[in-house]
Copies of this chain bind each other. A is one copy, B any other.
Amino acid sequence: MMTFTELLKNRRAIRDFQLKDVSLDIVKEILKESCLAPSASNGQPCQFIIINNREILKKLSDESKKNLLQDFFKNPASLNPAYEARMKDENFNVYYNAPCLIYVIGSKSVSSLDVDCALAISYIMFGATQRGLGTCWVHLGSNIRDQKIKAEIGMPDNCRIVAPIIIGYPKEIPAASERHTPQILKIVS
């Protein structure tokens, strides 16, 4: 079992995966652990949809890309222009060809939903790392709007996607991207 220092080192954003599938039992174990994350007033609002079918993942990727491009044409400020070419590239899969995806979702009415889910997601990331898996929070993959597709994946109308987390066995663990030292503005002693 990894120590915390090893977890810190090995928890990296993974965007390149082995072909190997991820067992649903392992994903369920990881999600069970994530329920130990703290949440505002112990509200535990996180809900999950697991997709581990590559064909459907491709369809979801296309749906998200289509909507991102539509938004971009209406309002160019909605997308970093660096992503435009990728969104137009038929071969680019917004989920980086990961074998498995977890949509972390929750009720639109929960005001603390984003931070509650983000805390649980860090548990998912560490839990995956602990098991030799890699993850990445793919914000570009959260634009699922087609009602038929939403029904197909079981996305309730009162919920929204906080984060699509891709998960799979990394081809390699990349070095950490550059980090600055902690920005401590003041110490009041």
**Which A164-189 residues sit within 8 Å CB-CB of chain B?**
176-189
Cβ of A182 and Cβ of B36 under 8 Å apart? no
Alpha-carbon distance A163/B51, docked complex (angstroms): 33
- Check B35 against A179 for contact (C-beta < 8 Å): yes
| A48 adjacent to chain B (CB < 8 Å) | yes
In the assembly, how many copies of this chain are there? 2
Closest to A116 in B: B118
Establish whether residues A50 and B187, one from each chain, have CB atoms under 8 Å apart when the complex forms.
yes
Do A180 and B35 touch across chains, with their CB atoms under 8 A apart? yes
Q: Is the CB of A125 within 8 A of B181?
A: no
CA gap between A127 and B183 in the complex, in Å: 17
Q: Which residues of A contact B (CB under 8 A)?
A: 1-5, 7-8, 11, 13, 24, 28, 31-38, 40-42, 44, 46-53, 56, 80, 105, 112, 114-115, 117-119, 121-123, 125-127, 130, 137, 139, 152-156, 162-163, 176-189
